[in-house]
């Protein structure tokens, strides 16, 4: 009888009692959750793709992981105890797949009670492609400008090729990869520097990932300087002779490295007519000698030889004296004529 009454009491108004029971459970759970503290971390996402396929679409490098536990335990929770993975080994055909993000907790974190953990995003849409490898050339990359008057004449990278592994759609389009920037600012001599590769598509992995040796060859630039209307000097002429005619001016171009040309002095360049072969008066075709200080050289000349009329110095002296005597006689005659004119003028005045 007592059991029957108990059942009747329980079943009496049963709908309201069930609702109250559900509310009590909800309030208890809500209370328990409210007592938990929360921490959120950005955790690196590691892609496991050791199979025949590899991702050919962008995959976020991090995922957001949220952890809830009691306040006295939350301080011991850190991102170091949480690992996030994307496992792709089970997929064997190229295509687009929805892949869940897997979490792995450290043993210390597994002992925390209670523990609520969630990850966002939970599932990633990943495009998978056939994994291939290919050897492609490595080319050096530089920044800055070498010293004025110098140039980069050659560059070499060792090793000159690198193996890249990645999705066929991307790897097949790759023609070359570049090293990180080599700074050549102000360089006036060659040098060697170890650098890594410049940023490659993160879906492609270069092998090896060690440093590459870049050798830069820096040399002076070649240039030219033009000299115009330069009067050659007469050298090696016997003192008994003189050059009667006026020799023409010459124009020539000097070639060399730009740093040397920038420092050229007047004494570094000379032009002369060598009369060493003159043994008697006459007309000679003599060489024009262009002299420059090494390492400069004459690249262009307006004249190779000039025509020179050589006479005896005594003849030139006699001619000069005769010209002076003739000039004196002419002056004397002029003075006599003037005196005669003056006398005639005076006589004319007296007769008047």
Among residues 167, 201, 220, the one where a domain terminates is 220
Tokens of 214: 């870049």
Q: Is the previous residue joined to 208 through a cis bond, with omega within 30 degrees of 0?
A: yes
For the chain, what's the residue count? 352
Instruction: State the burial class of residue 285 (Cβ atoms within 10 Å of its Cβ: 0-12, 13-18, 19+).
Output: exposed
Which pLDDT does position 334 carry in this prediction?
54
CA-based radius of gyration for the chain: 51
Go through 138-158 and write b for each residue having 16 or more CB atoms within 10 A of its CB, e for each that does not: bebbbeeebeeebebeebebe
Q: Are residues 212 and 230 in the same domain?
A: no
- Give the domain CATH number at 74: 2.170.120.30
- Give the domain CATH number at 214: 2.170.120.40
- Is residue 350 in a domain? no
- Is residue 3 in a domain? no
Q: Phi and psi at residue 161, in whole multiples of 5°?
A: -130, 160
Tokens of 135: 């050897």
Q: Are residues 187 and 273 in the same domain?
A: no
- Bridge partners of 226, per DSSP, are 253
Cα–Cα dist 263/259, whole Å: 7
Number of domains observed in the structure of the chain = 3
> Residue 97: helix, strand or coil by DSSP?
strand
Q: Which of these, 112, 208, 219, 127, lies nearest to 165 by C-alpha position?
A: 208
Q: Which of these, 185, 234, 184, 188, lies nearest to 214 by C-alpha position?
A: 184
Q: Are residues 205 and 228 in the same domain?
A: no
- Tell me which DSSP letter residue 268 carries: G
List C-alpha distances in Å: 241 to 232, 234, 235. 18, 12, 12
Tens of pLDDT, residue by residue, the chain (352 residues): 466 665 666 666 666 656 666 665 655 555 455 557 888 999 999 999 888 899 999 999 999 999 988 877 887 888 889 999 999 988 999 999 999 999 999 988 888 888 889 999 999 999 999 999 999 999 999 999 999 999 999 999 999 999 999 999 999 999 999 999 999 999 999 999 999 999 888 889 998 777 899 999 999 999 999 999 999 999 999 999 999 999 999 999 999 999 999 999 888 899 999 999 999 999 999 999 999 988 899 999 999 999 999 999 886 555 555 455 555 555 555 555 455 556 555 544 554 5
> Residue 79: helix, strand or coil by DSSP?
helix
Q: Are residues 240 and 286 in the same domain?
A: yes
- Count of CB atoms situated within 10 Å of the CB of 294: 8
- Tell me which DSSP letter residue 239 carries: T
Chain centre to alpha carbon of residue 235:
52
pTM: 0.63
Which pLDDT does position 69 carry in this prediction?
86
Domain that holds residue 143: 131-220
Output 109-116 pairs: Cβ under 8 A, ≥24 positions apart. 109/77, 109/81, 109/82, 112/69, 112/73, 112/76, 112/77, 113/69, 113/73, 114/32, 114/36, 114/69, 114/70, 115/67, 115/68, 115/69, 116/36, 116/67, 116/68, 116/69
């Amino acid at each position: 009888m007592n059991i029957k009454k108990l059942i009747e009491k329980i079943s009496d108004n049963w709908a309201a009692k069930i609702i109250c029971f559900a509310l009590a459970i909800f309030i208890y759970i809500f209370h328990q959750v409210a007592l938990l503290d929360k921490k959120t971390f950005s955790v690196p996402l590691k892609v496991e793709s050791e199979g025949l396929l590899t991702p050919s679409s962008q995959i976020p490098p991090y995922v957001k992981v949220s952890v809830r536990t009691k306040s006295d335990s939350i301080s011991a929770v850190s991102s170091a105890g949480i690992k996030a993975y994307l496992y792709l080994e089970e997929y064997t055909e190229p295509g687009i797949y929805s892949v869940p993000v897997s979490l792995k907790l450290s043993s210390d974190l597994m002992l925390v009670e209670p523990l609520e953990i969630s990850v966002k995003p939970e599932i990633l849409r990943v495009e998978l492609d056939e994994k291939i490898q290919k050897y492609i050339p490595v080319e050096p990359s530089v920044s800055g400008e070498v010293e004025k008057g110098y140039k980069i004449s050659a560059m070499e990278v060792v090793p000159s090729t690198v193996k890249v592994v990645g999705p066929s759609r991307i790897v097949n389009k790759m023609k070359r990869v570049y090293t990180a920037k080599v700074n050549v600012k102000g360089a006036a001599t060659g040098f060697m520097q170890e650098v890594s590769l410049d940023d490659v598509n993160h879906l492609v992995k270069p092998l090896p990932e060690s440093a590459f040796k870049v050798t830069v060859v820096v040399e002076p630039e070649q240039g030219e300087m033009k000299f115009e209307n330069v009067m050659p000097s007469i050298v090696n002429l016997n003192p008994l002779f003189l050059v009667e005619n006026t020799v023409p001016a010459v124009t020539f171009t000097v070639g060399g490295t730009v740093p040397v040309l920038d420092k050229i002095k007047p004494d570094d360049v000379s032009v002369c007519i060598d009369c060493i072969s003159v043994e008697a008066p006459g007309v000679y075709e003599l060489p024009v000698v262009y002299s420059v200080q090494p390492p400069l050289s004459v690249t262009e000349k307006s004249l190779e030889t000039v025509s020179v009329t050589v006479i005896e110095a005594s003849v030139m002296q006699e001619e000069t004296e005769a010209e002076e005597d003739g000039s004196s006689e002419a002056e004397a005659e002029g003075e006599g004529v003037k005196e005669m004119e003056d006398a005639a003028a005076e006589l004319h005045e007296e007769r008047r």
